[in-house]
Amino acid sequence: MPSKGELVMERLMHLHEGRFVGLKHENVFQLTVATILSAQTTDASVNRVTPEFFGRFPDAKSLAEADVEEVKKYIKSIGLYNTKAKNIVGLARILVERYGGKVPDNMEELTALPGIGRKTANIILSVGFDKTEGIAVDTHVFRIARRIGLSNGKTPLQVEKDLLREIPRKYWKYVNHILITHGRAVCTARNPKCDECDISDLCGRNGVE
């Protein structure tokens, strides 16, 4: 018999197929930078600035040679741009110095880079390298997973562990995208549309937000 996690993913993937709009990128380097920029900012906001940004800084070498103040001018419309500018320039310099300008393809080395935590590394590995080692748990996934009863974890890492246990591995690479999309379209933070929800019969909503 399918687990609750499997049933949730089956239904939501069917419901939201083709609706998710992710970060625009042409290679792993661009994906990495865009993912760092997307922290506490919508993908749409990042996608508005990255075409011009990557036109100026198309690779690690060009970004490594950049002045942080110039970088800020390109990303000042997104949240936390001061910190993000320092992080992505620092990231680029390390990539050039240690990795020949390439992004490493493992969790340990990725999470040692500026601006990259486990959530960001999971996205880079999954989308950029087709390696699924875990599930990226951002604020949306954290909220939805707890609300629908797939986890009662108090931290993103605890929620990730619960999702890895509850959801079959074949779905891991889609969990972040699907739960974010469902959270924006139906299971909104305030006034969720429970009457319109395709998984209402599976939902364990009990006041946990």
Select which of 138, 154, 198, 201 is catalytic: 138
138 carries an active-site annotation: yes
Distance CA 125, CA 94 (A): 18
Residues 6+ apart with CB under 8 A from 116: 32, 36, 91, 110, 124
Quote the Cα angle for 75-80-83, to 5°.
90
Nearest CA-CA partner of 35 in 94, 99, 110: 110
Select which of 84, 119, 162, 173 is catalytic: 119
Residue 185 near residue 128 (C-beta atoms within 8 A): no
Residues recognised as catalytic: 119, 138
